[in-house]
Every structure is written in C-alpha cells, then in structure tokens.
Structure 1
Amino acid sequence: MIPVIIFGVTALQFLFVMLNLFSLPGNMLATIPPIILYFTDFMELWQLMLILAIVAAGEIFEWISGFFSAKKTGATNKSVFASIAGAIVVGVIMAPLFFGIGALIGSVIGAFAGTFIYEKLATSDNRTAILRSTSIMKNRMFAIVIKFSLGISIVILTGIYIYQ
C-alpha cells in the first residue's frame, strides 16, 4: 500500500509543482498532500514544518527579488502585477506548444509583454519600457527556476518521509 501512496502523492505534487511554469502558486498547492499525510500519521510535525518552510522561503524569495528588481529600474508595483498577469495569460496560451515547454517560454514572454505594455502606456518611452521589462522578465525567469527547484525538493522530501 505504501508504494501506491508514494506514487500517488508524488504524481499529484509534481503536477502542482508544474504550475510554477505558468507563474501560478504550484508549491503552495503541493503542500496539501503533506498536510493530509500529517493528519493521517504518515508524516511527523517536524517533517511537515520543513516542507512548509521550504515553500515559504521560495515565496518570500520570489516576492523580495521581484520587489528589488522592479525598484532597481524604477518600475512600479503595477508593472510587476502587469508582468504576472502577462506571464499567466501567455503561459496558459502557449502551454500546448512543444509538449508543455511552451508554458515556460510563454511565461517569460508574457512577463516581458505585460510589463512593456504597461510601461509604454504609463511612460510613452520605449527605452524605459524595454529596460524595465527586461529587468522584470529576468527576475521572473530566475524566480521560476528557484521555485521549481524548491518544488521538486519538497516532492522528493515527501516521498522520503512517507517511505520511512
């Protein structure tokens, strides 16, 4: 029974972690199976706390890096929200391309496009809009890689903790 549980939880968590490629909070959703496993006595409290701490660290890192990246180039919070909205929309639209890799590409393109459109409308300056869009796009790529890596680590940790 344990291998079936490990496979099911791992598959579900991996699907949740894949949502990070769409700029959605996949790691937060990936904490649902460990919480359920804790209440069914498959995990201990310290194991659950470690998983929650890893997820919280990823979310905090994404927020802080986005804040400093935007402020470095003078972008506003509205630019960051436009970036997130663009990343989600274009990521979802491009998801079927290249067997799902299009989601990652679309997320990056959408982050750039969302910021560029907002900054172009707000400042009417191409140079400023491109500078801010590029900065926020680079940050989104970096944040996606970090959050995806942390998500994979919680999937692995959950499997290890169940099997103990």
Structure 2
Amino acid sequence: MLLIGQLFVVLLLLLCVAILIIGLPGDVFLFGIMVIYALSTGMETVTWSNLIVLALAAAVSQGGEFWLGYRVTEKSGASKGANIASIILAILLGIVFAPLFFGLGALLGALLGAWLGAFGYEFFTTRDIRQSLRSGYGALTGKVLGFTLKIGITVFMLVYSIQNIFWS
C-alpha cells in the first residue's frame, strides 16, 4: 500500500513539471505536495532540511525567471516602461491564450506578450523601429531564458523529491 501511495505522489510531481508549460507555478505546487507528503508520513523520508532545499529551489526558480526576463530586456536597451509593458502583456496574453492548444497557448501568449509589450512601448514612445525590435527580442529572449531556468530547477526538484521518497 505504501508503494501505491509513493507512486501516486510521483505521478503528482510529474504533473507539476508538465503544468509549467501551461503557465502554472509547478515548482510551487511540487513544493506543496512534498510538504503534505512529509507531514503525512511523519517526516520519515522527507525531512525539514529536504523541505528547505525544495523551498529555496522554488524561490530561486520563481525569482530567477522574473529576474532573467527583466535583466535581459534591460540589457537589450529597453526602457523601464518597455520592461514593465513586457511583463504586463506577458501575463495578460498568457491568461488570454491559455485555453488554446490544450494549454500550450499560455506559453505562446506569454512569449508573444513579452515581445509585443517591449516592442509596442518602445515604438510608441520613440518611433525607432530598430530599438523597438531590439527591445522586443530582448524581452522574448529573457522570457525564454527565464522559463528554461524554471524548467531546469523544477526538474531538479522532481529528481530530488523522488530520491527522497524512495531512497532516503
């Protein structure tokens, strides 16, 4: 019976990685599932130190995604307004496009929103098409790098959690 419960938890953890693609915070959900697992098993295999590692990883994942997106956009020469527009439009289009393509629309919407936000703001304020394109591509690159970091850290959290569930 214990093995069935463990396998069910692993299935939930795998789903946490998958839901990243539709724009949900799978890393935070993964941490929450591991807290519930740890408490329900009396902290036998997952300890407080394991939960701290997972909490730090989730915090770095969330913060790192935001920071990379902001920083790369800034490095592309985008103005602060373009950076903020990029973030806002990425969130809005991620939500609007979420129902499309079985949830993959959220990712596409966030990427498109990041580009459109930075490009549109720069173009309407400067009328400089080169700078607008540079800002848009900087925002898009930052979003992709941030999302890649988030996936990598969430996969680490998954492997670390499975290791603690079965081999601690």
One-letter amino acid of the structure 2 residue matched with residue 34 of structure 1: M
TM-score of the aligned structures, taking structure 1 as reference length = 0.79
Counterpart of 1:12? Answer: 12
Gaps of 5+ in 2: none
Report matched runs for 1:108-119 at 5 Å: 108-119=111-122
CA 1:67/1:101 → structure 2, altered by over 3 Å: closer, same or farther? closer
1:57 to 54, 57, 60: 60
Counterpart of 2:37? Answer: 37
Contact 2:68 2:143 in 1 (8 A): no
CA 1:132/1:56 → structure 2, altered by over 3 Å: closer, same or farther? same
1:44 deviation in Å?
A: 0.8
Tell which deviates more after alignment, 46-55 or 129-138. 46-55
1:128 aligns with 2:116: no
Contact 2:22 2:106 in 1 (8 A): yes
Report matched runs for 1:67-106 at 5 Å: 67-106=70-109
1:96 deviation in Å?
A: 4.3
Compute the RMSD of aligned alpha carbons.
Answer: 2.6
1:95 deviation in Å?
A: 3.8
Tell which deviates more after alignment, 98-107 or 133-142. 98-107
Gaps of 5+ in 1: none
1:72 deviation in Å?
A: 1.5
Q: Aligned residue pairs: how many? A: 164
> How far apart, CA to CA, are the structure 2 residues paired with 1:7 and 1:121?
53
Contact 2:21 2:107 in 1 (8 A): yes
Contact 1:24 1:88 in 2 (8 A): no
One-letter amino acid of the structure 1 residue matched with residue 31 of structure 2: T
1:162 aligns with 2:168: no
